[in-house]
A and B are shown apart, each in its own frame.
Chain A
Amino acid sequence: MLPVLSILLATLLASTLLTFLSGRWARYVALAGSVVFLVEVLLLLASFTQWAGFGAGGVPQYNDPETYPWISISWLTVNYAVGIDGISLVLVLLTAFLLVATVVYSWREEKEPALWFGLVLLTCLGCYGVFVALDILLFFLFWEAVLIPMFFLIGYWGGPRRRYAALKFFVYTHVASIVMLVSLLAVAFYSGAASFDFTSLYGPARALGATTQVFLFLGLFFGFGVKFPIVPFHTWLPDAHVEAPTGGSVLLAGLLLKLGAYGLIRWAVELLPTGLGHLAPLLYAVAIASIVWGSVVALAQRDLKRLVAYSSINHMGIVLLAIAVGSSLGVTAAVLLMFAHGIVSALLFMVSGSVHHTFGTRDINAIGGITPRTPALSTLVMVGSLASLGLPALISFPAEFGALLAAWDRISYWVLLPLLILVVTAAFYMWLMQRMLFGPPKGIPANVHEPPSFELAAMSILAALIVLYGVVPSLLVQVIVNSPIQGWP
């Protein structure tokens, strides 16, 4: 057996290091590294036919598993343990797509390019690690490894208030990750498992009493929830997005928000199902609050990036709702929506960046009627907006449909709230298009032309993925369902 997952990790590690060292050739190295990574992931996807299934004692097993002892002190064992199932694989695929798109999009980065591309690769390395790690300590290591490069991406390449935004981002997510770590360690200690390994925790953790599970789940929910982000712990997100450079926003919205959701699925819902069962009403309430709040506040935004940021809160609320439902339908829809939102929000942040470069502003009210001057950019704005508001045949629709269908079965008529919010979401995207794309030209500089070809290329890749997976969602769904969710209540 090839140590496939370690090879992938090594690919990212090597390209990160090489990129840091390669000076003005950094972008070529970064592109080569990310394309190699994407090809490897696609090969992995092609070879992923069947999930390993449940092993002895109903413990889920993982494909391409690798376990090497790492730290061993008396009773405590920490392993380098990695493995994938359908859920991880889809998110790794998302990481690979966004890595390539980000590298292509920021092709002409002029401020410290070696550092920039290296940090982008490092962020994706951390995300990859989070998605494949099966040991608490390893998971936490990668989890933290994401924060630091992102801190620098915002704090060094960001907008005018970058230091404030970077610090806010760091403090929020760091406090959350400490709570998360403590809760995970508590899961390990309370369950009395002799290791931090996911598979050996699985049985004992699920056997914990209801009260313990509820408290542990609460801790994990807070820890992962800030990353989602959930209302009211969400205010780091708009600031971070507005100040972050475009590439940073893409990774932030596309990948970092998914870490929280993934963590919740893998480390909270799978390990503590009874806790979820008792806390589900809380999760529904928080999810619906995020859905409503994100959408309503987005309606009032004038800054394109801020608007997309709030719509992210809305979409991640739907993800949380679907996770809280917990059945195979709900979690499949949640993971599909995570993928969809990753691609769609990445596209929307890229068009925000391109609009900013092209017209010198992101204020929706300041420019208008840009379609005749920049038809390609406008088309991409439309594709992104329509995908984000859930148009069928684009990627978000099957996910949102599944999520709300699953939710209907649990919360019945309450599902009308998120449904009606779909109208509000449509409203702010429609209004955005009306103000920015249509109407008589307004606020357009004289020598405006389409964004550079590499930016259009990156955005077109994402737009193509939106249509491809929107028309044939089963390409993803049949991978996602190959995971332990088959046995979930």
Chain B
Amino acid sequence: MSGFDVAFGWAWLIPTLTAVAFVIVGVGGRRMARLEWGGWVAVAFSFAAMVVGILVAIGEMLAPGSYTDSSVTWISIPGSPGTFPNGVQLDIGILVDPISALMLLVVTVVGFLVLLYSIEYMHHDSGLARYYAELSLFLTAMTGLVLSDNLLEFFLFWELVGVCSYFLIGFYYEKPSAASAAKEAFLVTRVGDVLFLLGIFIYFAVYATSGSAPGWAAGGFKFTNGSAPFLAGAMGGNTPLLTVAGLMMLGGAAGKSAQFPLHVWLPDAMEGPTTVSALIHAATMVAAGVYLLAVVSLFLGFTPTDQLAIVAVGGFTTFFAATMAVVNPDIKRVIAYSTISQLGYMVFAVGAGFTMVGLYHLFTHAFFKALLFLAAGSVIHAVGTQDLFKMGGLRKTMPLTAAAFAIGALSLSGFPGSSGFFSKDDILGSVYATLGTHPQYWPFFLLALLTVFLTAYYIFRAWFLAFGGDGPRDATLPHAHEPGWTMRLPLVVLSALAIGAGALVFDPAFASLLPGIGVPPTFRGADLALSAVSVGLVACGFGLAYSFWGGGRVFELSESTWAARVRALLLHRYYFKAGYDWIGLRATYTVARAADFVERYVIDGTVRGFERLFAGLSDGLRRVQTGVVSDYAAYVVGGLVGFLLLLVFLAPWLLQTVGGG
């Protein structure tokens, strides 16, 4: 034990600090004398949050374990004889454990750096108070998610980060494309969210009725409550119901982490500011899906069917997204596809049972991907376009940015010694080791291996197009220059992390944040060959990129070949976007219009039909009222006579047949 474990008791401060920043900037931001002051407030609070986050992580390294801290009852409903006889208790609590400490490091460090970077990057934008308030709220929600101690709380923050992402993608809301992208992101992830919700229902219900669970009274459904993973014991093992629950978790993760087939929103989310892309759509929020799968695999467990499904989704997405990055002309979208692809690696690893390896890649990826985005942001800030084919030669005017992007690219592609190399080869090596027992993983392993080549190709293609050559291909671009220190400092820090973060795992103290990860498999004999293959693929990718795009060359594809058709398919994103738009807009709206028609003319038409029927009846009947007194008298007499006839004839008959007395 050391003095640092006192930090566990203060973990709640992290979301609270950023929440305070949210309130200050959100309420007072627009009234501040200078709008950047709101930004500096947010930076200051996120710095404080980062300090606490690092202290918590250090404490966790020195004394690994799970610490539940300050749990409060959110909702408590007593049992009744029907459903949930033990009642339902839902808690909001804080759980510090190794992986949440790791995530805290990622979120607070990248969050602080991105906020600092924003000071200059967003300087010219209006709505700065909104921007910093929303980012602070995002950090609150994200750290809250990481510190959740049960699935409901996890879902709660999960939705909150989703809505922050919605607002930040739509930051430039006057642009129709931004507003549309924000909506798309929210709705596509919402599909995943409802599946996630169903998964939660299943886990809750199974937990509440499982024999060995003490019931809700004993503290509710918590990750740490009961013997982990539940699946093995308390929850009844490999049942179809739990398979479904696991698949639902995969659905939720696929929505958030943009995995196939819910991947379409992430490239469009690039409509937001680049800083937002770096923090939310690269380093943290999109990784929440992977974190969810990790948490579920650690505490609840997946069935073998689930695992195969997760491996399939992850492995396929890895390759699928990388192909689309190969042809894209937009610097941010290339990186966005790369994010989807890298998230696929993580999902792939978690699915194959290497949760810690997946999280290790999450950790390294957060830094080098944030670096790539921030470097791209620096370029966009300088030249005012995202089109790679208009840029060129920027290494001369922006050497630091070019170096930072190159470091990010090397790390992403897995250049030996960089952090991406360790984590990605760890994934490939680990999965390779299980192929003997799980031959069904083979095709997805091959896809993941092939992606190494594609990754190196597309990221260096982007580098050559932006930074290589003699000068901009579009002469109208403004003269580029390096940004100020608030943008340069995050680039430098992240460059250092992109190189060095991977090697941290050799430090046993740090490795305790990833319990059970073991020595990276690159150092086992059989894996050296695999590493060689993978490095070879990186070299091939780099070489191909250089031969096509290096030195200011622009590779022209002749229009008639089959390759051009493939290129068109890739540029149209395999028509997924068009298909979803068709389903989401055309088809659904047509159904809604049809329903509206039925509503107006069939349902309400029936109602009006009755109305007309009775109106007609009464219209006919009222003609009886002639106003002539004699007619009324005649009705009276007629009625009397009729009544007398009834009395004389009907009554005796009735008495006879029915009987009376």
Q: Name A331's closest neighbour in chain B (CB-CB).
A: B80
Min C-beta distance of A231 to chain B, whole Å: 8
Q: Which of A12-58 contact B (CB under 8 A)?
A: none
* Contact-residue size bin, chain A (C-beta under 8 Å from the other chain): 35 or more
Q: Name B599's closest neighbour in chain A (CB-CB).
A: A297
Q: CA separation between A410 and B604, bound complex, in Å?
A: 33
Contact of A392 among B78, B156, B170, B178 (CB under 8 A): B156
User: When the two chains form their complex, are residues A369 and B174 in contact, meaning their CB atoms are under 8 A apart?
Assistant: yes
With contacts A398-B75, A474-B74 taken as known, whether A427 is within 8 angstroms of B187 at the C-beta atoms is yes
Chain A residues contacting B78 (CB-CB under 8 Å) are: 328, 481, 486
Does A361 reach chain B (CB closer than 8 Å)? Answer: no
User: When the two chains form their complex, are residues A437 and B173 in contact, meaning their CB atoms are under 8 A apart?
Assistant: yes
Q: CA separation between A108 and B197, bound complex, in Å?
A: 45
User: When the two chains form their complex, are residues B603 and A232 in contact, meaning their CB atoms are under 8 A apart?
Assistant: yes
Chain B residues contacting A474 (CB-CB under 8 Å) are: 73-76
Chain B residues contacting A404 (CB-CB under 8 Å) are: 197, 201
Chain B interface, number of residues (Cβ within 8 angstroms): 57
Min C-beta distance of B646 to chain A, whole Å: 28
Q: Which of A287-335 contact B (CB under 8 A)?
A: 293, 296-301, 325-330, 332
Q: CA separation between A427 and B584, bound complex, in Å?
A: 9
Q: Which of B11-59 contact A (CB under 8 A)?
A: none
Q: CA separation between A431 and B584, bound complex, in Å?
A: 11
Q: CA separation between A478 and B78, bound complex, in Å?
A: 10
Q: CA separation between A485 and B588, bound complex, in Å?
A: 40
User: Which of these binds chain B: A87-95, A415-423, A456-464?
Assistant: A415-423
Does A192 reach chain B (CB closer than 8 Å)? Answer: no
User: When the two chains form their complex, are residues A293 and B595 in contact, meaning their CB atoms are under 8 A apart?
Assistant: yes
User: When the two chains form their complex, are residues A423 and B76 in contact, meaning their CB atoms are under 8 A apart?
Assistant: no
Q: Which of B51-71 contact A (CB under 8 A)?
A: none
User: When the two chains form their complex, are residues B88 and A402 in contact, meaning their CB atoms are under 8 A apart?
Assistant: yes
Min C-beta distance of A52 to chain B, whole Å: 16
Q: Which of B73-113 contact A (CB under 8 A)?
A: 73-84, 87-88, 90
Does B510 reach chain A (CB closer than 8 Å)? Answer: no
Does A371 reach chain B (CB closer than 8 Å)? Answer: yes
Q: CA separation between A53 and B497, bound complex, in Å?
A: 63
Q: Name B158's closest neighbour in chain A (CB-CB).
A: A392
Q: Name A487's closest neighbour in chain B (CB-CB).
A: B80
Q: CA separation between A281 and B176, bound complex, in Å?
A: 45
Contact of A235 among B152, B174, B604 (CB under 8 A): B604
Min C-beta distance of A347 to chain B, whole Å: 17
Q: Chain B, 150-187, contact with A by CB distance < 8 Å: what is the 0/1 string? A: 00100111011001000000100111101110110011
User: When the two chains form their complex, are residues A328 and B80 in contact, meaning their CB atoms are under 8 A apart?
Assistant: yes
Min C-beta distance of B247 to chain A, whole Å: 13
Contact of A416 among B174, B198, B607 (CB under 8 A): B198
With contacts A328-B78, A408-B201, A409-B83 taken as known, whether A440 is within 8 angstroms of B176 at the C-beta atoms is yes
User: When the two chains form their complex, are residues A409 and B592 in contact, meaning their CB atoms are under 8 A apart?
Assistant: no
Contact of B180 among A232, A427, A434 (CB under 8 A): A434
Q: Chain A, 233-244, contact with B by CB distance < 8 Å: what is the 0/1 string? A: 001000000000
Q: Which of A469-484 contact B (CB under 8 A)?
A: 473-474, 477-478, 481
Q: CA separation between A311 and B591, bound complex, in Å?
A: 17
User: When the two chains form their complex, are residues B607 and A235 in contact, meaning their CB atoms are under 8 A apart?
Assistant: yes
Q: Which of B584-632 contact A (CB under 8 A)?
A: 584, 588-589, 591-593, 595-596, 599, 603-604, 607
Among A232, A427, A473, residue most surrounded by chain B Cβ atoms (within 10 Å) = A427
Chain A residues contacting B584 (CB-CB under 8 Å) are: 427
Min C-beta distance of A464 to chain B, whole Å: 13
Chain A residues contacting B400 (CB-CB under 8 Å) are: none
With contacts A293-B595, A300-B593, A386-B163 taken as known, whether A438 is within 8 angstroms of B77 at the C-beta atoms is no
Q: Which of A261-301 contact B (CB under 8 A)?
A: 293, 296-301
Q: CA separation between A434 and B73, bound complex, in Å?
A: 37
Contact of B83 among A406, A420, A473 (CB under 8 A): A406
With contacts A332-B77, A393-B156 taken as known, whether A325 is within 8 angstroms of B83 at the C-beta atoms is yes
Q: Name A330's closest neighbour in chain B (CB-CB).
A: B83
Q: Chain A, 385-413, contact with B by CB distance < 8 Å: what is the 0/1 string? A: 01000011100011001101110111000
Q: CA separation between A310 and B190, bound complex, in Å?
A: 21
User: When the two chains form their complex, are residues A420 and B194 in contact, meaning their CB atoms are under 8 A apart?
Assistant: yes
Contact of A477 among B77, B157, B603, B604 (CB under 8 A): B77
Min C-beta distance of A462 to chain B, whole Å: 19
User: When the two chains form their complex, are residues A489 and B81 in contact, meaning their CB atoms are under 8 A apart?
Assistant: yes
Chain B residues contacting A300 (CB-CB under 8 Å) are: 589, 592-593, 595-596
Chain A residues contacting B88 (CB-CB under 8 Å) are: 329, 402, 405
User: When the two chains form their complex, are residues A296 and B81 in contact, meaning their CB atoms are under 8 A apart?
Assistant: no
Does B205 reach chain A (CB closer than 8 Å)? Answer: yes
Q: CA separation between A57 and B604, bound complex, in Å?
A: 47
Shortest beta-carbon contacts, A-B, top 7? A327-B82, A328-B80, A438-B179, A299-B592, A409-B83, A300-B596, A300-B592
5 A-B contacts (beta carbon < 8 Å): A235-B599, A419-B195, A422-B194, A434-B180, A474-B74
12 more contacts with CB within 8 A, not counting A328-B77, A488-B81, are A235-B604, A299-B592, A325-B82, A328-B78, A371-B173, A401-B197, A427-B187, A437-B173, A438-B176, A440-B176, A474-B75, A474-B76
